[in-house]
Amino acid sequence: MKNGIYLVATPIGNIGDITLRALEVLKNAAVIACEDTRVTKKLFSLLGLSSHDKTFVVMHDHNEGETAQKIIDLASSGNIVAYVSDAGSPLISDPGYKLAHLCREQNVYLTTIPGSCAAICGLQLSGLPTDKFLFAGFIPNKDKARREALEKYKDVAATLIFYETANRLLKTLTAAEEIFAGRELSVAREITKLYEECRSGTAAQLIEYYTANPPKGEIVLMVAPPSADTFLVDYREELAAAMRNASLKTAVKDIAGKYGLNKNEVYQTALELKNEL
């Protein structure tokens, strides 16, 4: 195995999801860079690996700048270095980006040992379109920032994927009800764990469910693209009414704007309705 830096994915809930390559690298690495030594030593113990003979280096969001170079120096001086985050794929809403960037700049061997990633697992479970998706990481916690973050992606023609926490879910769904009116949302919770659940519906339906059944655990929230195919509310009646009171062009613009839909798709529906009126 070559000296250098190995970005090693670890399970997001089910220990059985560790890969054979991850085990090999974790066994052979002299240096383990991680976010939290307690979490990573527990992982070693669950995997039946010894951690006594390893040098541990802690790299988290707050010290990545200084620590990344130290880790690169350890690799350059002839070590196999594994970087693991607390769970899932490093760098994906986890530290490691600066480390990878410096490796590229300094021509240090860097490779990935792929595995679980909650964003991808959530997308697979959601039943939403997978041909185009946009991963937008964590949704901010403050009301104004949360709204702005969601608004920013409203018109993106792709499934949106966010990381969310259980205690913030209802606030986010409330903001989403207005911003993504009529679109299908999907909440994937506790993926690969005992109480794995994936629930889809409009924001209003999900608010009703999670008010009655307060969510627990880790969550991926997804939003269907602004396309008539994935739209849950039938806007045709509203469009027909708008066409009676305004020009076809204005009616299409108003309805597409209200629901964040693709104008061409609404236009096609308007043409069909025009023939029926």
Q: Does 126 bind ligand SAM (CB under 6 A)?
A: no
Say how many residues touch ligand SAM, by CB under 6 A.
24
Determine how many CB atoms are found less than 10 A away from the CB of residue 20. Answer: 8
Of the listed pieces 114-122, 144-152, 168-176, 269-277, which binds ligand SAM according to CB under 6 A? Answer: 114-122
C-beta nearest to ligand SAM: residue: 88
Of the listed pieces 39-47, 158-166, 201-209, 266-274, which binds ligand SAM according to CB under 6 A? Answer: 158-166
d(CA 124, CA 237): 33
CB of 93 to ligand SAM, least distance (A): 4
Lay out the site mask for ligand SAM across 224-263 (x = CB under 6 A, - = otherwise): ----------------------------------------
Of the listed pieces 143-151, 212-220, 236-244, 245-253, which binds ligand SAM according to CB under 6 A? Answer: 212-220
Structure token pair of residue 74 = 């350890």
Q: By CB under 6 A, name the one of 19, 51, 165, 227 that touches ligand SAM.
A: 165
CB of 189 to ligand SAM, least distance (A): 6
Lay out the site mask for ligand SAM across 169-208 (x = CB under 6 A, - = otherwise): -------------------xxxxxx---------------
Structure token pair of residue 23 = 């085990």
**CB nearer ligand SAM, residue 191 or residue 266:** 191
| 140 DSSP 8-state letter | P
Residue 249 one-letter amino acid: K
H runs (alpha helix) in the chain: 20-28, 37-46, 64-76, 97-106, 118-126, 143-152, 169-179, 203-212, 236-245, 248-259, 263-276
Any idea which residue has 């113990």 for tokens?
45
Q: Does 19 bind ligand SAM (CB under 6 A)?
A: no
CB of 34 to ligand SAM, least distance (A): 13
d(CA 233, CA 150): 20
CB of 58 to ligand SAM, least distance (A): 16
**CA max distance for the chain:** 78
Any idea which residue has 């679109």 for tokens?
183
**Residues 134/160, Cβ–Cβ less than 8 Å:** yes
Q: Does 218 bind ligand SAM (CB under 6 A)?
A: yes
**Residues 126/222, Cβ–Cβ less than 8 Å:** yes
d(CA 178, CA 45): 47
Q: By CB under 6 A, name the one of 89, 186, 200, 269 that touches ligand SAM.
A: 89
**CB nearer ligand SAM, residue 123 or residue 243:** 123
In a 13 Å sphere around the CA of 146, the CA atoms on its Cβ side amount to 17
Residues lying near ligand SAM in the complex (CB under 6 A) are found at 12-13, 85, 87-89, 92-94, 117-119, 163-165, 188-193, 218-220
